[in-house]
Structures are given as C-alpha cells and as structure tokens.
C-alpha cells in the first residue's frame, strides 16, 4: 500500500501523507514516495496548485526514530533524507504549494509546514520542535524555519522543545493561519481558488521575488526586479491578462476548482 496518495482534480493535485499507523513519520519509504510525487507535480504542466495534507490525527511526527536510532541493527544511511529535495524544494518550485494540516505536526513535520508557500492548520493541531527531548536538534529544518521566525522566538522554541497550539504557530510565522477545525476545508478551498485566478508564470515570478530579493542589496534588488517586471509586461500572459481585464472577461488561465 502506498504511503503517499495523489489525486488530480482540475489542475489541483492533492498529495496525502497516508502512513496513519506510524503517524506519517519521515521514513525512507514515505520520503521516497513523497519526493517522487512532488517531482512529478513540478514536471506536470497540468498541475496548477499542489495541496499537501494528511490522513489520521497526525500531519507528520518527524523522523522515523526506529530507522535513525544508533541502536538499530541496520540503521541505514543517515543521509536518507535529501533536505533540499524535501524541505527546500517548495520555495524553488514555480508552482504554489498549500499545506492543509489536519493533525499534529512536530519535529521534521515542522520543516514541511514552514517550507510550504501557504499553510492552513486546524486549531486543534499541536506543533513543536521536540528534537532536543530525544537528544538531537532541529538541524535541517532550521534552514526553512528560521527565515520565518524572530530569532528570539526560534531560540525559545528550539531550546524548550515544548508543544504549542496552531494559533501560536501562526504567530511565530511557521504557518499562515490557524482556523477552527470545521473551517479547514473551506479555508483551503478559498486559498486554492485564489491561486487558480493567477497566471502560472506570474505566480512563479511572485515566488521568485520572495527568494531572490531578500538576498540582494537595494541597488541590485531594484535592477533585478526592473528587468523581471519589463520582461513580464512584454510577455504573453500580461498581454492576455490585461486584455481580459479591459474587456471584462476571465483571463484564459482562470478556472474554478472541481
């Protein structure tokens, strides 16, 4: 049975972590399946938006400690998870990734939640950097979590290893919003509907802004964005989009969900 399930519906690919029995831990098997599903999504022109969610009461419980423990008879390679292919991939993909967190999310799961573009979680979900309580540190996931957090908040969360609510995860910047459990699907659907109104190329460019601009000084940032803007205004999407706006009709890429 597959540990990662996919379903494509009118341009929206839902990727579901389905190892409910093991709380969707990042085992070698689940990680391999997940990376393959995400690779396929990035390569498929029919996929406009990707929604990552879970089955069961846990979104992701982090590393599979049974595999990673030094006491395991055959622990396997310690670098079984390629952090760039998993946690770091979302910000480099041209496609928008939405998190639908319907359960608890701790340790390595925090890397998934923070790495996504827009993440909606149910209020009952608990979050936490629990690594220090089993003798390790939130090393790889810090690369995607730290840019979203104030340093003082990160120090407290990393060092304490305590669990906190979804509303606190939103305050810390690790997720976008926390909503009542019964509103989770409606809020995710609203986010996806907005994304389907945007031009694919424009969304890819908007994602680039959040990656490239913070790494540049002011002069370089204005130069890079001016070139990007000029190229987009001269492009096919802008021509089609502005014509549709002036003619009061939907742009050719607009579609509804399902």
Domain spans in the chain, listed from the N-terminal domain onward: 4-195, 200-246
116-144 pLDDT tens trace: 999 999 999 999 999 999 999 999 999 99
Query: Which residues are bridge partners to 8 per DSSP?
Result: 13
Alpha-carbon separation of residue 184 from 57, 126, 172, 199 (angstroms): 14, 15, 20, 25
Active site residue 67: no
Predicted local confidence at residue 258, as pLDDT = 43
State the pLDDT confidence band at 82, using cuts at 50, 70 and 90.
confident
Predicted local confidence at residue 72, as pLDDT = 56
* Residues whose CB is less than 8 angstroms from the CB of residue 160 and which lie 6 or more positions away in sequence, other chains included: 132
Angle in degrees, CA 242, 243, 249, rounded to 5: 105
What's the fold here for domain 4-195? 2-enoyl-CoA Hydratase; Chain A, domain 1 (3.90.226)
The stretch 19-35 carries a mean pLDDT of 95
Tokens 């480099």 found at: 92
State the pLDDT confidence band at 94, using cuts at 50, 70 and 90.
very high
Dihedral angle of Cα 44, 82, 157, 185, to the nearest 10 degrees? 20
Rounded to whole angstroms, how far apart are CA atoms 127 and 160? 13
State the pLDDT confidence band at 76, using cuts at 50, 70 and 90.
low
Alpha-carbon separation of residue 35 from 5, 60, 62 (angstroms): 12, 15, 15
Angle in degrees, CA 232, 236, 237, rounded to 5: 70
Rounded to whole angstroms, how far apart are CA atoms 206 and 149? 21
State the pLDDT confidence band at 67, using cuts at 50, 70 and 90.
confident
Residue 51, pLDDT > 70, answer: yes
Catalytic residue, from 67, 131, 187, 237: name it: 131
């Amino acid at each position: 049975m597959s540990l990662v399930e996919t379903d494509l519906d009118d341009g929206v690919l839902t990727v579901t972590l389905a190892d409910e029995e093991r709380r969707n831990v990042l085992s070698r098997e689940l990680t391999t399946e997940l990376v393959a599903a995400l690779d396929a999504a990035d390569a498929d022109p029919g996929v406009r938006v990707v929604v990552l969610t879970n089955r069961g009461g846990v979104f992701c419980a982090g590393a599979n400690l049974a595999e990673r423990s030094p006491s395991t008879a055959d622990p396997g390679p310690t670098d079984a998870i390629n952090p760039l292919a998993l946690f770091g991939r979302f910000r480099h993909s041209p496609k928008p990734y939405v998190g639908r967190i319907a359960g608890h999310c701790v340790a390595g799961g925090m890397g998934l939640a923070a790495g996504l573009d827009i993440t909606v979680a149910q209020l009952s979900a608990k979050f936490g950097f629990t690594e220090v309580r089993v003798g390790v540190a939130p090393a790889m996931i810090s690369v995607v979590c730290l840019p979203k957090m104030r340093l003082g908040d990160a120090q407290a969360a990393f060092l304490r290893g305590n669990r906190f609510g979804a509303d606190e995860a939103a305050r810390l910047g690790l997720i976008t919003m926390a909503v009542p459990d019964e509103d989770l699907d409606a809020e995710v659907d609203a986010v996806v509907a907005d994304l389907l109104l945007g031009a694919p190329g424009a969304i890819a460019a908007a994602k680039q802004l959040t990656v490239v601009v913070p790494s540049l000084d002011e002069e370089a940032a204005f130069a890079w964005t001016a070139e990007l803007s000029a190229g987009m205004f001269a492009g096919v999407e802008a021509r089609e989009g502005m014509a549709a706006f002036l003619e009061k009709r939907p742009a050719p890429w607009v579609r509804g969900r399902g």
